[in-house]
Amino acid sequence: MFMKKTIGLILLLISLVFLVMGLVSPFMTFTIEVDMGGKGGFFGNLISGAIEDQVNKKRTYNIPQAMKMLFKNHQYFVGLLVGLFAVYIPILKTLLCFLYLYEKNEQLYNFMSTLGRFAMADVFCVGVFIAFLYSRFNQSIKADIEIGYYWFATYVLLNIISVILLKPSEVKR
């Protein structure tokens, strides 16, 4: 029992590192390209080549930058959801895990466990955000997942395992 709790604490500490890295590392890169189609002969190709250099955009965001960009573009609800599920709930859940280690309160564990059910809701939010971008622009949009996504996904998995290992023996599921 002691070994299980110790491993749970170690995984909780490691998951905290992964959470921080997931929040500050690049999470997603969006590339928007305009296909000029090579129309207009020699001069058209010269112009389209010059225009293409100006309209091809590549933007990489971490989670807080994406939230800021969403709020800046008046997408408050989507920004709030990304912030809630990717920042605030994970931080709250991790803090509650540490509090639980001190308090050993069954209700606290149950609440903490309930919060864990929202752990991957941010993936849904990001998916909706990408779908929004696809429908909003006529250009070709490509979204690439960056290292921050993998840091965050690892946080989620380690945190789930740590909560399971910290589970009090008297809590029935």
pTM of the predicted protein model: 0.73
> Contact, 90 vs 19, CB < 8 A?
yes
> Contact, 26 vs 148, CB < 8 A?
yes
Q: Work out whether strand 140-145 and strand 28-33 pair parallel, antiparallel, or are unpaired.
A: antiparallel
E-strand spans in the chain?
28-33, 57-61, 140-145
Signed CA dihedral, 130, 134, 80, 58: sign only: positive
Other beta carbons within 10 Å of 140: 12
pLDDT tens digits, one per residue of 45-98: 444 555 544 467 788 888 898 888 888 988 888 888 888 888 888 888 888 888
Signed CA dihedral, 70, 54, 57, 141: sign only: positive
Per-residue pLDDT, 17? 95
pLDDT tens digits, one per residue of 138-152: 556 777 888 998 998
